[in-house]
A and B are shown apart, each in its own frame.
Chain A
């Protein structure tokens, strides 16, 4: 894996929508954060715009969570640096549909 390539695991509804496998890679230049990774996902797969975060406010959708390295990063700032093991490709960023619905 080359520098700047981030592994991302998508939930199955978004895999179907984008017609991609469970794990994809996106290229991020510069600081690797949730925001820049989602920017890269949306640029590569435009049909995912609006599904992970709001079109306008860019806020995470309420029932979408971000996990990595056994940590829940959902409540962190979207501009916080992601863990080094995500940046260097050892671990993926997981985009997860939250358990909800009763």
Chain B
């Protein structure tokens, strides 16, 4: 019988939640790395026992951990994320040039075909990759070398490369997103990169057609339609059907134009999920009601999903890496909150239950479907 393993990164450690395919009864394993910020944990699609984890601390910096037994044991790997070229400068909040400084790894994206190949998105924004299971890292220098790097400006959370999406039909094509530079695509395995921000409309930006400067929060893709991308942006939910060359808004009847995560149903490429949040400074759900919104039409028409979620006095946030879907026949949807809850719906969002209530603030949620 199939099982699911949920990998949860929090401000104070990692947790592994496991259940059978019913997703009703759960075991909680952790904390792993107690006290450390666990920005992201993700497993290899081709070897589910191979996990990578980003462990960091304001005191002791960045660690990369790897497990070869599904999270039972871990070993620290290379943590040298050295910019490959003279870093130059990006733009600081006040518009002045600011040197690039490595701070942390936000996101780890294992290859779709090779468990030893993994990408890392870091702050200050750059992308690294390892071909030896994390034993060494090298920067894909073409991204910062694109030429617009001097114009990249950090969002409130820092100049972070937080999203890496791999095209399952083309190993040379990757999509990444940076707050607040925008989205980029490579079609040659990371040698050269193209900004893909046409059509993004970001209020308060003087030049809305600017090549960079858009605060992309998250991009999602269904593997069967790699040219269709869905984006939750600082303002608006967007869609592209040409691999990011052009975007159009699909916010429709959402109660807020702000949010962080976005994801796609495992078996329905036009069914997407977001969690609207009140912008900008509030960062909690509108009206104190925690509602996941689902569109079965690829956007524009959204329905609130509320059964089992708190509908009063709820003021948590759901961060950009804290939503995931499993691949069971009845698709499971998962998300974690800054209040320490991890919710699951085993029926594509119709009904929800909390797997755990009281973890540290949740930074990331990933799900592995195991057979």
Asked whether A and B interact, the reply is yes
Q: A13-B36, A17-B63 are contacts. A50–B58 as well, Cβ < 8 Å?
A: no
Q: How distant is the Cα of A45 from the Cα of B62 in the complex, in angstroms? A: 15
Q: Is B79 an interface residue (CB 8 A)?
A: yes
Q: Flag if A100 contacts B59 (CB, 8 Å).
A: yes
Tell me the chain A residues, 78-102 only, with Cβ under 8 Å from chain B. Answer: 97-98, 100-101
Question: Could you say which of B33, B62, B82 contacts A56, with CB atoms under 8 Å apart?
Answer: B82
Give chain A residues whose Cβ lies under 8 Å from the Cβ of B36.
13
Question: Could you say which of A14, A50, A52 contacts B62, with CB atoms under 8 Å apart?
Answer: A50
Q: Is B29 an interface residue (CB 8 A)?
A: no
Question: Could you say which of A17, A55, A98 contacts B80, with CB atoms under 8 Å apart?
Answer: A55
Tell me the chain A residues, 13-47 only, with Cβ under 8 Å from chain B. Answer: 13-14, 16-17, 47
Q: A13-B35, A13-B36 are contacts. A50–B59 as well, Cβ < 8 Å?
A: no
Give chain B residues whose Cβ lies under 8 Å from the Cβ of A56.
82
Q: How distant is the Cα of A98 from the Cα of B62 in the complex, in angstroms? A: 17
Q: Flag if A13 contacts B61 (CB, 8 Å).
A: no
Q: Flag if A47 contacts B63 (CB, 8 Å).
A: yes
Tell me the chain B residues, 46-66 only, with Cβ under 8 Å from chain A. Answer: 57-63
Q: How distant is the Cα of A53 from the Cα of B63 in the complex, in angstroms? A: 13
> Number of contact residues on A: which range applies?
10 to 19
Task: Write the chain B residue with the least CB distance to A56.
Answer: B82
Q: Flag if A63 contacts B58 (CB, 8 Å).
A: yes
Q: A13-B36, A17-B76, A47-B76 are contacts. A64–B60 as well, Cβ < 8 Å?
A: yes
Q: How distant is the Cα of A97 from the Cα of B59 in the complex, in angstroms? A: 6
Q: Flag if A61 contacts B82 (CB, 8 Å).
A: no
Q: Flag if A51 contacts B82 (CB, 8 Å).
A: no
Q: How distant is the Cα of A47 from the Cα of B61 in the complex, in angstroms? A: 12
